[in-house]
Amino acid sequence: MILTTSSQDLYNEYADKMQKIADVKYSAALLQWDQETYLPPKGAGFRGRQLASLSEIAHEWFIAPSLGILLEELGSRGDLADDQRRNVELSLEDYNKQKKFSPAFIRRLSETASRCFHSWLESRSANSFAVFEPQLREMVQLKREEADLAGYEQHPYNALLDQFEKGATVAFLDGVFASVRPPLKHLLDRIADSRTVDNSFLHGHFSKQGQWDFGLQLIRRLGFDFEAGRQDLSEHPFTTSFNCYDVRITTRIDERDFGHMTWSCIHETGHALYEQGLPPGYYGLPLGEFASLSIHESQSRLWENNVGRSLAWWQSIYPGLQTAFPDELQTVSLERFYQGINRVGPSLIRTEADEVSYHFHVMIRYELEKRLIDGSLDVSEVPSWWNEHYTAWLGVTVPDDKRGCLQDVHWSHGSFGYFPTYSLGSFYAAQLFAAAVRQAPGLQESILGGDTAPLLAWLREHIHSYGRRFTSAELCLRATGENLEIKHFLDYLLDKYVNIYKF
């Protein structure tokens, strides 16, 4: 039957199935968004099972043998258009990975994640890891099962890394981190030995409404399309997308910390600009999806740091900020502001860390996750291991779990293997930004005038418009002419901090 059907008919059948699966997956994503923004507390229980049912359906449909047969057949047809062929290839790859998990397993993962998330919220209120421990133990156990089901070579953590960054392994990341750690440590030491930089002005009083309004202005200015997305509040800022015409970001506002809202807004906007820039017309198909998590993070980190912590950009933005918060900032010069927002120092909270020590936060989580997943560290040991390493690697004493091992939402979602993409993303960001500056004439001048449209256009052309067509490495090579090179990141840091710290 299938042999006599035209390739285009088969392709349409495939696209139709994928789009219905996308409908269910994106519905689940909306339930999740609601869970973290508006869900009333008593609704959490049933929300958990609703999410689990949707995950189960989407998975069941995707691993249906009939879809497998269709994909195999389409894969053997020589008369598909280039983008059709690529969609089929990527879907088949996904299919072969996903069919290793039963729908019941996916349901368990989803149910556990919902419980785990609420337990994480409770443990943060109670400021006690002990509240979270039983749920986290269950989650870690499940992720170890997942690694076994997925299969791996050398290290079980490789199976989880691969889900966020195709092909990433412990061996690769150990190498990357080993090469970046010494120069970063050296830089930190040189900075510590030089002058001090003040950023106390970020910790005055910045009203909630004032921050909210300023944040919206920033987002709009960076090119976020509010007709195709929105911003809301949540405990932990995040970006989610239900298609390129409905991309949602969240932020959190602390009246005593202007920085948190500002750079989390810019970070999430970076993610959102990528999602809004994905090629329309591929709803539910791989070419309509993002390339990888590290490329996603390269977008958020690029906007957050290479743009959002640059002197050039703030040149035109800062006067408006001073007008919005005259009591706090009228007497703070642009120069002092710029230095303050780039202050380097020991820190407890990853999302508030400077661009140098940030990667030690990531490396600690990476080392910890490896050990949890290979079983060499017990869940009960997380706080002590965490606290020891924060002292040893970052020189800080962790005062409590909320500012320690409970700070990130990721584990409660079951996202083990995600954190390394934050560092990879920063490295890609520096390399992409340097390439954009090289390639696009006038780009730096436009940023100086507060106009980032040319930068966005470059990213749309070289990254966003390809969807998932290329891997991270391929995208990087095509866009910059080189493989991933840490030196762009290190050069960028050195250039910035020599200037600020005058060492």
Q: Can residue 233 be called a binding residue for a copy of itself (CB under 8 A)?
A: no
Quick one: which of 57, 88, 160, 295 contacts a copy of itself (CB under 8 A)?
A: 57
Q: Which ranges of 99-128 would DSSP assign to H, the alpha helix?
A: 103-126
What is the size of the binding site for a copy of itself (CB under 8 A)?
37
Two structure tokens written together for 495: 């250039």
From the list 43-51, 291-299, 405-413, 479-487, the region that binds a copy of itself by CB under 8 A is 43-51
Q: Can residue 15 be called a binding residue for a copy of itself (CB under 8 A)?
A: no
Quick one: which of 23, 83, 145, 235 contacts a copy of itself (CB under 8 A)?
A: 23
61, with CB counted inside 10 A (0-12, 13-18, 19+), is middle
Question: Would you say 290 or 419 has its CB closer to a copy of itself?
Answer: 290
Q: Can residue 114 be called a binding residue for a copy of itself (CB under 8 A)?
A: no
268 is catalytic: yes
- Closest approach, Cβ 47 to a copy of itself, in A, equals 7
Quick one: which of 2, 5, 12, 49 contacts a copy of itself (CB under 8 A)?
A: 49
- Closest approach, Cβ 28 to a copy of itself, in A, equals 8
Catalytic residue, from 36, 56, 268, 297: name it. 268
Which residues touch 52 (CB under 8 Å, ≥6 apart)? 107, 110, 111, 114
Helices (H) and strands (E) in the chain, counts: 22, 3
Task: Please report the DSSP string for 464-493 in residue order.
Answer: GGGTTSS-HHHHHHHHHSSS--HHHHHHHH
From the list 53-61, 120-128, 310-318, 400-408, the region that binds a copy of itself by CB under 8 A is 53-61
Quick one: which of 3, 40, 200, 502 contacts a copy of itself (CB under 8 A)?
A: 40
Phi first, then psi: give them for residue 343, nearest 5 degrees: -55, 135
Q: Can residue 283 be called a binding residue for a copy of itself (CB under 8 A)?
A: yes
SS (H, E, C) 290-335: CCCHHHHHHHHHHHHHHHCCCHHHHHHHHHHHHHHCHHHHCCCCHH
User: Tokens 């299919």, residue?
Assistant: 95
AA letter at 276: Q
483, with CB counted inside 10 A (0-12, 13-18, 19+), is exposed
Q: Can residue 336 be called a binding residue for a copy of itself (CB under 8 A)?
A: no
Q: Can residue 39 be called a binding residue for a copy of itself (CB under 8 A)?
A: yes
Q: Can residue 234 be called a binding residue for a copy of itself (CB under 8 A)?
A: no
- As a whole number of angstroms, the distance between CA 188 and CA 359 comes to 11
Q: Can residue 228 be called a binding residue for a copy of itself (CB under 8 A)?
A: yes
Task: Evaluate whether 425 touches 296 at the Cβ level (below 8 Å).
Answer: yes
Task: Evaluate whether 319 touches 200 at the Cβ level (below 8 Å).
Answer: no
- Closest approach, Cβ 288 to a copy of itself, in A, equals 11
User: Tokens 């927002």, residue?
Assistant: 341
Quick one: which of 7, 13, 50, 381 contacts a copy of itself (CB under 8 A)?
A: 50
Phi first, then psi: give them for residue 209, nearest 5 degrees: -65, -40
Q: Can residue 16 be called a binding residue for a copy of itself (CB under 8 A)?
A: no
Two structure tokens written together for 58: 């989407």
Q: Can residue 45 be called a binding residue for a copy of itself (CB under 8 A)?
A: yes
Count the neighbouring beta carbons within 10 Å of the beta carbon of residue 319. 13
Task: Evaluate whether 336 touches 198 at the Cβ level (below 8 Å).
Answer: yes
Question: Would you say 19 or 98 has its CB closer to a copy of itself?
Answer: 19
- Closest approach, Cβ 445 to a copy of itself, in A, equals 32
From the list 48-56, 131-139, 191-199, 427-435, the region that binds a copy of itself by CB under 8 A is 48-56
Q: Can residue 43 be called a binding residue for a copy of itself (CB under 8 A)?
A: yes
Q: Can residue 245 be called a binding residue for a copy of itself (CB under 8 A)?
A: yes
Q: Can residue 38 be called a binding residue for a copy of itself (CB under 8 A)?
A: yes
Q: Can residue 232 be called a binding residue for a copy of itself (CB under 8 A)?
A: yes
Question: Would you say 26 or 206 has its CB closer to a copy of itself?
Answer: 26
Query: What are the residue numbers of the active site?
Result: 268
- Residues lying near a copy of itself in the complex (CB under 8 A): 19-20, 23-24, 26-28, 30-31, 34, 38-43, 45-47, 49-50, 52-54, 57, 225-230, 232, 242-243, 245-246, 283
